[in-house]
């Protein structure tokens, strides 16, 4: 049995709700898809379509060619067995950060994403060019953070833990893994979906992120029970309902620190709407639409599928093995100390 908090907007209070975390707790309803199980969205498809690729849907042969040319962790041809073992790059060298891995540690998938039997070259389906329709001068209400140079060269701000990316601090998974707008990344692309009458829980293997989404009878009831705006949570304020055999989840008010490093950021005026439906016994069709006129010149939509897997959902021990953070900070303090001695 689970004990959860559910916000009641009418009384402006949080209610304790108990729910059985098993499928038998669900009332049978033809309009509610069964999403429970262990799923994966691993693939080599990216959010945006590669330059020079015009078509969203390609043949299996074309998919293999595109997949073979897809960089992994920004490295053409992917990672080798020896990477990060015997050929550690010099300080300031290109690919400084990702060379801590070799291909034993990564599992991004081996081909492009398959959605309803079709190989896809991008998650984005609208606009048709498969690219994010970002404004030339977007108006963010948070400070955007970029760590690209840090990963490429190892040169960055090491003043304290707060200068590190969220993923390196083990606060969130990287690659927008938990969403809203859930996409695969370099590894740990496994999810567990649990449904009760009152909640849907999505447990993400990476960083054991968990989205707990309250379910209401209608969009109107869901909107009336949003949390206070002052509560800016990781993954945002998500509410859900069922319609036309789909789970619909609408999210607003995502924590600014998460949005500052997200590949699909929204401001406090934006929203992300996700739709989950059961396309086949082994496939969940997943669609999300991003709307924010402060950042994008039109709403845009992406699609991918989750596939049933016999694999296990493993515990993600993040800080337990996060030796690089104290090492980096200790190295920076040593350099500061040496500078003071000169």
Give residues with Cβ within 8 angstroms of 249, minimum separation 6.
180, 200, 213, 238, 239, 240, 273, 274, 275, 276
- Among 28, 23, 30, 26, CA closest to 245: 30
pLDDT value, residue 315: 86
pLDDT value, residue 22: 42
β 210-216/237-243 pair status: parallel
Give the confidence band of 103 by pLDDT, cuts at 50, 70, 90: confident
CA–CA distance from 77 to each of 68, 103, 110, 187, 193 (Å)? 7, 11, 12, 17, 33
pTM of the model: 0.86
pLDDT value, residue 95: 56
Distance separating alpha carbons of residues 286 and 229, to the nearest angstrom: 27
Distance separating alpha carbons of residues 88 and 54, to the nearest angstrom: 38
Give the confidence band of 87 by pLDDT, cuts at 50, 70, 90: low
Distance separating alpha carbons of residues 80 and 58, to the nearest angstrom: 28
DSSP conformation class of 183: -
Give the confidence band of 316 by pLDDT, cuts at 50, 70, 90: confident
* Assigned CATH topology for domain 35-46+137-341: Lipocalin (2.40.128)
CB 125 within 8 A of CB 131: no
Distance separating alpha carbons of residues 95 and 73, to the nearest angstrom: 9
Could you read off the pLDDT of 201-250 as tens digits, one per residue? 999 999 989 999 999 999 999 999 999 999 999 999 999 999 999 999 99
pLDDT value, residue 19: 45
User: What percent of the chain lies above the pLDDT cut of 70?
Assistant: 81
pLDDT value, residue 272: 98
Structure tokens at 232: 């800016």
Distance separating alpha carbons of residues 309 and 317, to the nearest angstrom: 21
Q: Average of pLDDT values for 183-204?
A: 95
Distance separating alpha carbons of residues 55 and 62, to the nearest angstrom: 11
Helix (H, G, I), strand (E, B) or coil at 334: helix
Helix (H) or strand (E) holding 250, with range, is: strand 246-252
Could you read off the pLDDT of 9-24 as tens digits, one per residue? 555 555 555 444 444 3
Phi-psi region of 130 (alpha: psi -120 to 50; beta: other; left: phi over 0): left
Q: Average of pLDDT values for 53-69?
A: 95
Structure tokens at 130: 């498969």
């Amino acid at each position: 049995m689970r004990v959860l908090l559910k916000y009641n907007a009418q009384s402006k209070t949080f209610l304790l709700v108990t729910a059985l975390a098993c499928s038998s707790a669900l009332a049978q309803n033809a309009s509610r898809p069964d999403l429970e199980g262990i799923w994966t969205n691993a693939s080599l498809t990216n959010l945006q379509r590669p330059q020079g690729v015009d078509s969203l849907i390609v043949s299996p042969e074309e998919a293999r060619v595109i997949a073979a040319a897809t960089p992994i962790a920004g490295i053409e041809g992917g990672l080798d067995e020896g990477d990060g073992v015997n050929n550690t790059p010099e300080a300031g060298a290109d690919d400084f950060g990702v060379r801590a891995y070799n291909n034993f540690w990564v599992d991004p998938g081996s081909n492009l994403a398959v959605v309803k039997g079709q190989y896809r070259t991008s998650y984005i389906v609208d606009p048709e060019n498969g690219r994010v329709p970002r404004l030339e001068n977007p108006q963010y209400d948070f400070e955007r953070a970029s760590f690209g140079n840090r990963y490429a060269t190892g040169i960055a701000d090491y003043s304290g833990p707060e200068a590190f990316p969220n993923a390196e601090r083990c606060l969130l998974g990287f690659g927008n893994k938990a969403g809203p707008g859930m996409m695969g990344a370099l590894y740990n692309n496994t999810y567990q979906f649990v449904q009760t009458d009152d909640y849907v829980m999505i447990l993400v293997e990476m960083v054991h992120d968990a989205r707990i989404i309250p379910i209401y009878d209608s969009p109107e009831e869901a909107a009336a029970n949003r949390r206070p705006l002052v509560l800016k949570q990781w993954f945002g304020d998500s509410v859900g309902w069922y319609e036309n055999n789909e789970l619909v989840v609408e999210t607003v008010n995502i924590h600014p620190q998460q949005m500052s490093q997200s590949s699909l950021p929204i401001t406090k005026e934006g929203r992300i709407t996700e739709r989950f439906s059961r396309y086949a016994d082994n496939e969940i069709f997943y669609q999300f639409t991003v709307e924010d006129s402060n950042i994008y010149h039109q709403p845009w939509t992406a699609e991918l599928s989750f596939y049933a897997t016999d694999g296990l959902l493993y515990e993600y021990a993040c800080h337990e093995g996060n030796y690089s953070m104290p090492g980096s900070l200790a190295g920076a303090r040593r350099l500061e100390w040496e500078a003071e001695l000169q």
